Amino acid sequence: MSGTPLVLTFNAGSSSIKMGLFSVVNGQTTQVGKGAIDLRAHPLRLQVSGSGTSQDITLNAKLTEDLHEVLDETLGWFASHFKLDDLMSVGHRVVHGGDRFDGPVAIDDDTLAAITELVPLAPLHQPQGVRLIQAIRALRPRLLQTASFDTAFHRSQSDLVRRFAIPRRYFEQGVKRYGFHGLSYQYVAGELARRFPALKNGKVVVAHLGSGASLCALHGGISQDTSMGFSTLDGIPMATRCGALDPGVVLHLMGPGGLSLDEVEDLLYHQSGLLGVSGLSADARALQASDRPEAREALDLFALRIAGEVARLATSLGGLDALVFTAGIGEHQPEVRGAVSERLAWLGLQLDPQANARHDAVISAPGSRVTVLVLPTDEEQVIANDTVGIHHQQALRP
């Protein structure tokens, strides 16, 4: 691996950090290592693989606000297995780009300040991204860093789709539908064009179903509408997030309910969704294995809201050629795919049960009016490609 340029990517969640290490040959990126840290674990553990090895490492580093110790030890592991002297740049997934960023950018003082200003719009994820950028600056100050934004993919949506029915002045102040999971949808759109060219220009709904979950309407691979709006709370229920909620509920909780703003925020982000409805678990796999009626109700509600959102997005598209399942639940849980598809049978959508159980790429029956696909997503690959592109742009500057 000596002499081969490397790119490191960071995908910051609210309580986790995923990393990817990519080699760069003739401008093409190939993943050669990856890692993940669950920041809720005690002690902290680094799960890594690459260079023919897979390890689960207990970290000695303390979890500090600036993440310096954790990243220093993590980079140390990668340096012991790869030649990090060949590291050319570091790319970050940044959840919120607001209206300023419509594509990936090199991070300088100005862009970092703008990213930081958007923290109030994504209070769970944005601070983590900012901390990672600042930590890499402190540990490897000469490295080029780049940001790829989850919201940028949805900038193609019309103002009509992005607008809330509130006084117009708030739209101008930035209170609008932004949409998220854009890196995932960008990757899936590319895979659709590559693997299923007949659907390249079609009307497609992609369901990104993980602990965070949303759906996106694509026409010709371009975002037309999406379930998440101003925040990552909107849309369908998620592992611990509520999804779409009557604003009157929030008014009630903070009025007669007597909850503070912080308490409501914690309830909606951390105590709701599958966890809140089931009272058992935020993990759809655990709920599927349970015989408790509350677990079944949580999964039924999940499927109902997903199917309803597919129908809404099909209305935005004016039709539906394909439904794509992706991300952790979408890729690995046939029961959820089956429950959603059953509720969409009125659209002429029919699953092949055996293909669904095998996690085939095409899981619709031959006579289905809507093609149903399972396509793995890869946000880290998008970040790596963005980073290499920006690195080359920088190199070409006089």
Q: Report yes or no: 11 and 37 within 8 Å, Cβ to Cβ.
A: no
> Length of the chain, please?
398
DSSP 262-325: HHHHHHHHHS-HHHHHHSS-S-HHHHHH---HHHHHHHHHHHHHHHHHHHHHHHHHTS-SEEEE
Can you read off the two tokens belonging to residue 81? 């297995």
pLDDT of residue 1: 43
205 forms beta bridges with 217, 323
Residue 320 CB neighbours (<10 A): 23
Kindly state the DSSP code that residue 14 receives in the 8-state scheme.
Answer: S
Q: Per-residue pLDDT for the chain (398 aa), expressed as one digit of tens each? A: 457 899 999 998 777 889 999 999 988 999 998 888 888 778 888 888 876 778 888 888 788 888 888 888 888 888 887 888 888 999 999 999 999 999 999 999 999 999 999 998 888 889 999 999 999 999 999 999 999 999 999 999 999 999 999 999 999 999 999 999 999 999 999 999 999 999 999 999 999 999 999 999 999 999 999 999 999 999 999 999 999 999 999 999 999 999 999 999 999 999 999 999 999 999 999 999 999 999 999 999 999 999 999 999 999 999 999 999 999 999 999 999 999 999 999 999 999 999 999 999 999 999 999 999 999 999 999 999 999 999 888 777 76
**How many angstroms separate the CA atoms of 138 and 135, rounded?**
5
Burial class (CB in 10 A: 0-12, 13-18, 19+), 81: middle
Distance between CA atoms of residues 41 and 50, nearest Å: 22
Query: Hey, which residues are catalytic here?
Result: 150
Tokens of 336: 């959820």
Q: How far apart are CA 171 and CA 164, in angstroms?
A: 8
Whole-number Å distance between alpha carbons of 66 and 138: 10
Report pLDDT for 110.
96
Q: Starting from the edge strand earliest in sequence, which strands make up the sheet with 144-149, in order?
A: 53-58, 45-50, 28-38, 16-25, 6-12, 87-94, 144-149, 105-106
Q: What is the pLDDT of residue 398?
A: 64
The pLDDT value recorded for residue 2 is 53
Distances (CA, A) of 61 to 35, 64, 65: 16, 9, 12
243 and 276 Cβ atoms separated by less than 8 Å: no
Residue 57's CB: how many other CB atoms inside 10 A? 15
Among 101, 398, 124, smallest CA distance to 266 is for 124
